[in-house]
Structure 1
Amino acid sequence: MTSRTVVVTGANGGQGLAETLMLATAGANVIATDLTAESSPAVAEAALENPRRIVYRQLDVTQSEAWAALARFIRDEYGRLDGLVNNAGITRRSRLLEATPADLAAVSEVNVTGALLGMQACLPLMASGASIVNVGSVAALSGHYPVAYTASKWALRGLTIAAATELGAQGIRVNSVHPGFIETPMTAGANPAFRDATINETPLGRTGTPEEVAAVVHFLLSPMAAFVTGVDLPVDGGQSSHGGAKSVSDALR
């Protein structure tokens, strides 16, 4: 990733922070973005240690004007953009009969519209060889009870495939990764019963780490994945692979 310039959204913690650190270590110039005016202490510390590799910028991914300002900054400072990681995301855990249109709209605005606006703003800065990675969820590969979150991540899959199809002729790759239960601030508030049940459905028998997701994002951004586009890549310890068969198998032990 030497001298490549990459934007990571939702970079203040969790997977976004891990992606920022890993990409910077690999030699990329990383524009780490998040909703707050000031970066998290972890990003601030990393930027001090890597002043030429990590720059923090405030970004509300739901605002086209904010994306336009970021694109101008990148053009002025770097001249081009080689990678975009649409990592920012939110959830609401209401089930089918409790979910409201407002829940659906709020989650979709960040998880889907944010990714669309990011691609639209950044594509004029990209040339052949550039790569976009949209961060989905295992909820986009199977049924999942939080209605708004699940719907948004399935929509993000569709957006990813449409973008990959359209941008392939320009040599720009678009892929999505779908994490399972990863130890992040978002999952820290999950019901313990949900956590236990998820681990029971995961063949590797454990939760994942942000660094394990970051490694896959790194691969998809890099020239090593030069012939990979339009892919939905699970990073879920096998959770989405068995269609519920694991529970049946375990019950028969």
Structure 2
Amino acid sequence: MPGLLDGQVAVVTGGAQGIGLAIAEAITGHGGRVLVADVDGDKAAEAVAPLASAGAEVAAVACDVTSAADQEAMIRSCVDRFGRVDLLVNNAGVTRDGYIAKLDESDFDAVVGVSLKGAWLGTRAVAPLFREQQGGGIVNMSSLSGKVGNPGQTNYSAAKAGLVGLTKASAKEMGRFGVRVNAVQPGLVRTAMTLAMKPEVYAAKEAEVPLGRAGTPEEVAGAVVFLASPLASYITGSVIEVTGGRGI
């Protein structure tokens, strides 16, 4: 049976762990080829090694998404390795939590720089290629925090909300070239970051989920595969919530 993404080549930023790695795994599982980019190039290479051993066509590259030069080099690297780029997943992100009165300006800049500016730089880097080939897809990884806001996360919530605006504006700007741009907003997902919460905090958040449980990185990855696939050929500028109903 052919895969949903047979023949497609994807770039996934922040792909050395967690949701980003799950996205890379899901894309290869559906027949795609993937370049995993991460600020830690060695960690990215280590993360994709099992996929390569299993026969997937994957590669890894170091990339600081806050650097325009790094982003442009990332896209060139993918073209050199696989011959094309069909999908960019702007997944890289960081957290620097703190209440407004105590949040350092540098922590605000760091979070917005990686999550929001990083996605904009990636979109800008791939735009000329997508325009030339008259097609392509971009998926921006937002968050439920960007919809409802989280106390102690004004920087993160602002960045993730900004990704929704970036998604919609980019979709309008690039649609005439056959480029689709969408966003995914995960809710509470079982990752190393969320599992590091105090147990009582994690339990309280999980109790807010109508489906009664946290999600998995693989469930978030499924939404990305759908948006990248022909099944979503007439979907652009949309935001898919993968939250188990939390935040509705």
TM-score by length of 2: 0.92
Aligned residues: 240
What are the within-5 Å matches in structure 2 for residues 9-24 of structure 1? 9-24=13-28
The aligned amino acid for 1:217 is: V
Deviation of 1:200 after TM superposition, in Å, equals: 1.4
C-alpha separation between the residues in 1 aligned to 2:223 and 2:134?
21
- Deviation per CA, 1:117-173, whole angstroms, max 9, x where unpaired? 111111222234411000010101112111111111111111111111111111100
C-alpha separation between the residues in 1 aligned to 2:41 and 2:21?
16
The answer for unaligned runs of 5 or more in structure 1 is: 242-253
* 1:97 alignment partner, SS class: helix
The aligned amino acid for 1:216 is: A
> Which residue number in structure 2 is paired with residue 73 of structure 1?
77
The aligned amino acid for 1:192 is: P
What are the within-5 Å matches in structure 2 for residues 1-253 of structure 1? 1-40=5-44, 41-50=46-55, 53-126=57-130, 127-145=133-151, 146-241=153-248
Contact 1:99 1:147 in 2 (8 A): no
| Bigger shift: residues 180-189 or 18-27 | 180-189
- Deviation per CA, 1:190-244, whole angstroms, max 9, x where unpaired? 2323211211111011110000000000000111100001111110000011xxx
The aligned amino acid for 2:80 is: D
Contact 1:234 1:240 in 2 (8 A): no
Contact 2:37 2:74 in 1 (8 A): no
C-alpha separation between the residues in 2 aligned to 1:98 and 1:235?
31
| Bigger shift: residues 31-40 or 141-150 | 31-40
C-alpha separation between the residues in 2 aligned to 1:236 and 1:61?
26
Paired-residue identity, %: 40
C-alpha separation between the residues in 2 aligned to 1:121 and 1:24?
23
Deviation of 1:100 after TM superposition, in Å, equals: 2.5
* 1:39 alignment partner, SS class: helix
Superposition misfits of 4+ residues, deviation over 6 angstroms:
none
> Which residue number in structure 2 is paired with residue 251 of structure 1?
none
CA RMSD of aligned residues (A): 1.4
